[in-house]
Amino acid sequence: MLLSRAFKSLLNQPVINDIRYTQVCFHRFRSVPKLRIPEWRFRVERKIKDDNLTSENQKFIKEVVERDFGKQVIHKGVETYESKTLLKVPEIEPKTWKKGTIRCGVIAKKLGHYPLWKKDGTRICTTVLQIVDNHVIKYIPPNEFEPKERRPLKKYDRKGCILVGAESVDPNILTANYMGMFKGSGVMPTKHIFRFVVDDVAALPPGTPLNVSHFRVGDHVDVRGKTVHRGFQGVVKRWGFKGGPATHGNTKTHRRPGSLSSGVKSRIWKGKKMPGDMGNSWRILKGLKIWRINTKTNTMWVSGYSIAGNPGDLVYVYDTILPLRQPKEPLPLPTFLGDESALPEDIYEDSIHKFNEPSIIYEPEK
């Protein structure tokens, strides 16, 4: 008895260093879908630790970076490093564009919405895209290009690939593997990188800058972006179901999907619309017209408000693949090769009312 009592009293004593508390659940909430890096690309940013560098050494490293890659500058409205180490780009021969040839695309940033007025007085909704200091890093010819997709797709047959980088960045942040991709190119390491599958005719040597003059006013483009991540959503928000009535004795079925399947089938069809993770997926808007181009800030005005992503997100711009919106005049192949500085600052589509033109007056029909 005594022993058991003593044992009980021991048990009742508060344990001083209770290690049971260590099992704390740190991932209480549902985790965000993992960012899937493509197989051809390495991890960009290295894990930054506190290196305990002295202030003199930090200054020294900064100076070496400036010597090798140039100083920090603002180039056409984008914060980058001045591309000091760029190789001299060999002269590119202009080629004739035929219908169906695929050119290189560009990496752009979605800036925001913008209203424009036509000459007949109607207002159009546009989105402004800024091309963020793009440079060609590498061209992979068709015989070497072997994409590691699940099965070889027909669209990659006899096609090359261009790697394009955007926004130069302090190389101290980046991993060694990622830096290796820029080794032969002579381009400063960039923050963003993307691949464009092109025809062999549209090949570009490494180091060529891609500006907004790559496109023309009046042509159509496709814009690919990642939609806003809205998390786990119900069926009303995700798929636009009607939900149930608010009143009339309704209990607990205001935003529910209702029945899932018929009794005859007695199972759920594949692809049934259900609650789940919404957004954070790639979407392409096709056939958007270019209304205006600003060569000074590398921006272009594209029709529509519904381009995927928030303002400040990256999007990828291609020539359109829609058959009825193909350009009537041949596009510049491989890119615009003329003098950039000779272009005017603002280029408008013909039907757009310029802001420094006099007000609109409707003349009577004769």
Binding site for other proteins (CB under 8 A): 17-19, 21-22, 24-26, 28, 51-57, 60-61, 63-64, 77, 111-112, 114-115, 117, 120-121, 123, 128, 130, 294, 297, 299, 310-312, 353-365
Give me the sign of the Cα torsion angle 96, 101, 106, 111: positive
Question: Minimum distance from CB of 62 to other proteins (Å)?
Answer: 12
Q: Mapped to the 3 state alphabet, what secondary structure does 78-98 carry?
A: EEEECCCCCCCCCCCCCECCC
The residue (of 19 and 264) whose beta carbon lies closer to other proteins is: 19
The residue (of 149 and 345) whose beta carbon lies closer to other proteins is: 345
The residue (of 22 and 247) whose beta carbon lies closer to other proteins is: 22
Question: If we measure between CA atoms, which residue out of 287, 282, 285 comes closest to residue 307?
Answer: 285
User: In which order are the strands placed within the sheet that holds 160-168?
Assistant: 190-198, 160-168, 134-140, 209-210
The residue (of 231 and 245) whose beta carbon lies closer to other proteins is: 231
Question: Minimum distance from CB of 29 to other proteins (Å)?
Answer: 9
Question: Minimum distance from CB of 142 to other proteins (Å)?
Answer: 38
Instruction: Give 103's strand partners.
Output: none
Report how far apart the first and last C-alpha atoms of the chain are (Å, whole number).
117
Looking at the chain, list the stretches that DSSP marks H as alpha helix, in order from N- to C-terminal side. Answer: 2-12, 55-69, 176-180, 235-239
The residue (of 27 and 99) whose beta carbon lies closer to other proteins is: 27
The residue (of 317 and 352) whose beta carbon lies closer to other proteins is: 352
256, exposed or middle or buried, with CB in 10 Å at 0-12, 13-18, 19+? Answer: middle
Residue type, 140: I
The residue (of 102 and 111) whose beta carbon lies closer to other proteins is: 111
The residue (of 55 and 262) whose beta carbon lies closer to other proteins is: 55
Contact 301, 352 (CB under 8 A): no
Question: Minimum distance from CB of 289 to other proteins (Å)?
Answer: 19
Question: Minimum distance from CB of 319 to other proteins (Å)?
Answer: 25
Question: Minimum distance from CB of 74 to other proteins (Å)?
Answer: 10
Question: 340 in the Ramachandran plot: left (φ > 0), alpha (ψ -120 to 50) or beta?
Answer: alpha
Question: Minimum distance from CB of 19 to other proteins (Å)?
Answer: 7
d(CA 64, CA 46): 19
d(CA 123, CA 41): 43
The residue (of 280 and 297) whose beta carbon lies closer to other proteins is: 297
Question: If we measure between CA atoms, which residue out of 363, 358, 303, 44 comes closest to residue 182?
Answer: 44
DSSP per position, 116-127: EEBTTS-EEEEE
Please give the DSSP secondary-structure letter assigned to residue 262.
-
Question: Minimum distance from CB of 309 to other proteins (Å)?
Answer: 12
Please give the DSSP secondary-structure letter assigned to residue 364.
P
Contact 123, 117 (CB under 8 A): yes
Question: Minimum distance from CB of 26 to other proteins (Å)?
Answer: 6
DSSP per position, 142-166: TTT-----SS--GGGTT-EEEEEEE
